[in-house]
Amino acid sequence: MLDLVLNKRLVIFSGKGGVGKTTMAISLGLMAARLGKKTLLVEMNAPERVAGFFCLKAIGYKETVCQKNLSGINVNPKDCFEEYILQRIHFKKVFDTFVNNRFVTSFLNAVPGFNELMMVGKIYDLAAHRHSQKPYDLIIVDGPATGHGASAFEVPQIVYNAVKVGPLHSQSKKMIDFLQDKTMTVFCPVTLLEEMPIVEMTELISRIKAKLGIGVGPIFVNAYQKNIFSKEEEKTIFLEKNVNEKLKPYFIAAQFLSHRLGLQEKMMELLQRLNPGSPYILAPKMEAPIQIASDLLPIVDAWTNI
Amino acid sequence: MMPDLLIKKKLFVVCGSGGVGKTTLAASLALKTAFLGHRTIVLTIDPARRLATSLGVSLEGSKARKIDPDILDKINGGKIVKGELFAMMLDTKNTFDEVIARYSPSKDIQHKILENKIYQHLSQMMAGSQEYMAMEKLHEIVSEEKYDIVIIDTPPTVHAIDFLEAPQKMMDAISHSMLHLLLKPAMMVGKTGFGFFEKGSQFILKIFDRITGFAFLQDISEMLVSFKELLGGFQSRAQEVEAILKKDTTSFVVVSGVDQRSVSETKFFIEKLMDLHLPFDGVIANRVSPFEAFKMTMEQEVALSQLVSKELAYKMSLVMQMFTNEADRQKVFLEDLFSFLSKKQFLIKIPLMEEDIHSLEGLGKLSQVL
């Protein structure tokens, strides 16, 4: 099932804040790199997180090698805008005057969606191998968190509808065509097995499908707790009465886990009910805190064996 | 929670990142102050609506609704509650249309913006409307002066700081935009074409034409001009809200999770509160593991394997290990948080409950911990 994701050119991870998009993006990146694909991890104007995973101080706007076959970049609206202008204005003096003009810089912030459009444009250039960008096999985007109005990848469609003529119209059309090309782009929602992330993710998926026509890939379910007890053992855990005080905590702990697993099951049912027929990929819950790339190898291994 | 806070403070702002349990804790705090005899109102922002249902809050529009005093008495263990509890839910669809509809200084301006074609498309990309509405509601409630204590739940933003910064960011972006100045000559004369502009502007505009198209610039400019007209009222109310938030009868309470990400968010947010000179009083650490301070010993493991099967005993000790490790990690984060606070600031720990709390009874239980 992951082949369907890995054989694309552009993979976009999205979901509620805190569900683990960065973790999923890096894990997939490690897997792709292992398979020999030249991969680029893209953060969108985010506080540097990928850098820490690879023991780098920061990544910034320059494509930086993280490990073999895997590089990273942290795009921001201003640099994307300047690169966009540079592609169209070839005289440095003209360029300098324009981008430093105060009308221009205040414009960037005042026009809703413009910042996002610039970043999506950069990602499009990278994925479509335009403007002599280095030709990566796979671009993985750690997308922005949902819940803040329309998400960044909805912007080209919105601009296309809003502006009927001119360069922005044609530019956004090119982006939309690439995003809608199901052989090129796949949108992967990420969630935890908790109610609010699941509900928000479901709303996002229906918006993407209804308004944008971007291909939606398998749902990535993060922090999945594996059940270790058999049915018989479960009975014992709950039935044991007259347990000596010193041993009671073990039973409480086991009951607690059992209860958590029950809730997880309910949430899984909810997810499947709200997204009937959608495939999903599980990422196991990590016991130790995840700090560097090698901490993610259990996830990569689990995925390699699907 | 320090008793003197509950006596001295008139406004509690419950903040933190989305998903930490703010709404539940805000409601629970409100119950507590009502039990203590105060006429309390809580403004919640409850996307899941379950709390709203428990509180019996009106599901359409933001109207204050009084909780049945008999129910309050029941939750208080049968003891008569002298205070009163009102609840209001901020019900927004996260769009600016509502902000404009409610707060436009005139119908004219309202129409101008809502009918603007560019606005109709681009407005869904304008972030900050929910934070903005929360601010306006806060202003309304406090100005009405109907309640002893006001408790405000804040929107479930990605970063806790968004609640404070989003409205101002939105206003700054609009007010700093000088686009309309650039286009002024043409707009005044009602004509287009670059001939009407002075050389400097011509240069910039010609490039813009290549990048965005001139028509787009004009449409945006019109929209921004209308927004600027809206801004006057926004700005003055924003200043009043700032003054309210800075009063010494206001209390900022931050709700935090106990994992790495939550704790660093919380610390960042607390620093911001201090920078802005806002009255920060303490942290409520939510969903804390109840397995703290349990020491596993060989003796116990042996006893356990005699009680249940060897295999099950092994599994149970694995589970215990997992939970105690988690509790140990949390302990480190909690100590980190604690050392970040001053002596006057509190750190309350709420244990992880089996289910999310939605019922009034559950809220009652929680309020006892506060």
Q: What's the pLDDT at A83?
A: 93
Neighbour-count burial of B291, counting CB atoms closer than 10 A to its CB (0-12 exposed, 13-18 middle, 19+ buried): buried
Rounded mean pLDDT of B307-335? 91
- Chain A CB contacts of B178 below 8 Å: 102-103, 106
The residue type found at B199 is K
Q: What's the pLDDT at B143?
A: 92
Helix (H) or strand (E) holding A44: strand A39-44
Mean residue pLDDT of chain B comes to 85
- Which of the two residues, B186 and A240, has the higher pLDDT score? A240
Q: What's the pLDDT at B86?
A: 92
The residue type found at A209 is K
Q: Does A276 touch chain B (CB under 8 A)?
A: no
- Which of the two residues, A79 and A100, has the higher pLDDT score? A79
Using pLDDT thresholds of 50, 70 and 90, give the confidence band for residue A276: very high
d(C-alpha A25, C-alpha A179), whole Å: 18
Q: How far apart are the first and last CA of chain B?
A: 5
Per residue in A143-194, pLDDT tens?
988 866 678 999 999 999 988 888 899 999 999 999 999 999 999 999 999 9
Q: What's the pLDDT at A92?
A: 87
Dihedral sign for Cα atoms in the order B226, B229, B232, B237: negative
CB contact under 8 A, B19 and A249: no
- Chain A CB contacts of B163 below 8 Å: none
Using pLDDT thresholds of 50, 70 and 90, give the confidence band for residue B280: very high
Mean residue pLDDT of chain A comes to 91
Q: In this predicted structure, which of A56-70, B43-57, B102-116, B305-319 has the lowest mean pLDDT?
A: B43-57
Per residue in B122-142, pLDDT tens?
888 887 888 888 888 899 999
Neighbour-count burial of B346, counting CB atoms closer than 10 A to its CB (0-12 exposed, 13-18 middle, 19+ buried): middle
The residue type found at A40 is L
Minimum-distance CB partner of B121 among A149, A162, A289: A162
Using pLDDT thresholds of 50, 70 and 90, give the confidence band for residue B62: low
Q: What's the pLDDT at B236?
A: 85
CA distance readout (Å), B365 to A263, B69, B361: 21, 17, 6
Rounded mean pLDDT of A22-35? 97
Region for B154 from its dihedrals, namely left if φ exceeds 0, alpha if ψ lies in -120 to 50, beta otherwise: beta
Would the pLDDT of B50 be above 80?
no
Q: What's the pLDDT at B185?
A: 63
CA distance readout (Å), A109 to A23, B132, B175, B177, B339: 30, 18, 11, 8, 38
CB contact under 8 A, A145 and B47: no
Long-range CB pairs of B78-84, under 8 A, 24+ apart, other chains included: B81/B34, B81/B35, B81/B37, B82/B37, B83/B33, B83/B34, B83/B35, B83/B36, B83/B37, B83/B38, B83/B39, B83/B40, B83/B148, B84/B34, B84/B39, B84/B40
Would the pLDDT of B66 be above 80?
yes
Contact A207, A155 (CB under 8 A): no
Rounded mean pLDDT of B55-70? 75
CB contact under 8 A, B308 and A249: no
CA distance readout (Å), B196 to A223, A285, B177: 62, 64, 21
- Which of the two residues, B105 and B152, has the higher pLDDT score? B152
d(C-alpha B69, C-alpha A128), whole Å: 64
Using pLDDT thresholds of 50, 70 and 90, give the confidence band for residue B186: low
Q: Which residues contact B306 (CB under 8 A, 6 or more apart)?
A: none
Q: What's the pLDDT at A216?
A: 95
Q: What's the pLDDT at B60?
A: 57
